[in-house]
């Protein structure tokens, strides 16, 4: 009986009871995590290979491409000092890989060139997300089942060991992901487009995201407020209202 109670406790550790339909997750899968400049180079090599293949398929093998640094949307050029570390590095790496593949690559955009744009979107998840490895609950059930005739002390030790296994096999995924979309545009049409999704380490999000621009707020004196009916704003040290 005690073994059954332990199994129930362990199951409740991962699930919650509700009178509404239970949320269903996707089947177990893997998603890569970017943690080094080498990973940026791997992506650049893969994208350059796809671009080269599309040029061959569409019989544009002699058309030059121009890689444009973009911010916010794939059609908006970056202003000075507006690019992120990833934006600058990925552009350089992509140009290098395109040249290595023998793709004609222009330094300055010409009318006949095929434009290559890329956009980086940072996704933030507020919740803490765990990923139990496949078979974790089965392993926990097996640990408890073999102890069904043991003393209560040993059963508690087995339960503690089971929780250790669960924690060890349930990594925290972090709060940030990035979506990196690369496009080839010619004659105002998409010739090629690919999107890649990666996990990133939380402290590294700034490498992919531009700093938010501050808002300009008009400050007036109490005398002017009374005369013109302006509201008075208080600004904290962090710059927030």
What global pTM score does this model have?
A: 0.64
Query: Nearest-5° angle of CA 52, CA 102, CA 208?
Result: 60
The three-class DSSP label of residue 181 is strand
| pLDDT of residue 87 exceeding 80 | yes
| Predicted confidence band of residue 80 (pLDDT cuts 50, 70, 90) | low
The three-class DSSP label of residue 189 is strand
pLDDT tens, position by position, 149-202 = 555 555 555 555 555 554 554 445 678 999 999 999 998 899 999 999 999 999
Read off the tokens for 175: 């709060």
pLDDT tens, position by position, 23-61 = 777 777 788 899 999 999 999 999 999 999 999 999 999
């Amino acid at each position: 009986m005690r073994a059954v109670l332990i199994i129930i406790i362990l199951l409740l550790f991962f699930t919650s009871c509700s009178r509404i339909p239970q949320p269903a997750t996707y089947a177990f899968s893997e998603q890569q995590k970017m943690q080094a400049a080498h990973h940026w180079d791997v992506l650049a090599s893969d994208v350059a290979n796809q671009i080269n293949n599309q040029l061959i398929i569409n019989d544009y093998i002699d058309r030059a491409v121009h890689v444009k640094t973009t911010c916010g949307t794939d059609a908006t050029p970056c202003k000075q000092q507006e690019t992120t570390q990833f934006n600058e590095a990925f552009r350089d790496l992509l140009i290098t890989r395109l040249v290595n593949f023998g793709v004609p690559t222009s330094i300055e955009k010409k009318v006949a060139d095929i434009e290559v744009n890329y956009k980086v979107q940072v996704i933030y998840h507020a919740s803490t997300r765990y990923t139990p490895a496949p078979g974790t609950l089965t392993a926990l059930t097996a640990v408890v089942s073999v102890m069904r005739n043991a003393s209560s002390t040993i059963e508690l030790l087995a339960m503690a060991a089971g929780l250790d296994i669960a924690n060890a096999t349930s990594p925290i995924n972090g709060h940030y992901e990035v979506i990196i979309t690369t496009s080839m545009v010619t004659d105002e049409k998409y010739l090629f487009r690919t999107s890649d999704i990666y996990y990133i380490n939380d402290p590294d999000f700034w490498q992919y995201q531009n700093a938010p621009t501050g808002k300009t707020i008009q400050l007036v004196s109490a005398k002017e407020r009374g005369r013109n009916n302006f509201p008075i704003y208080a600004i904290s040290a962090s710059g927030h209202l």
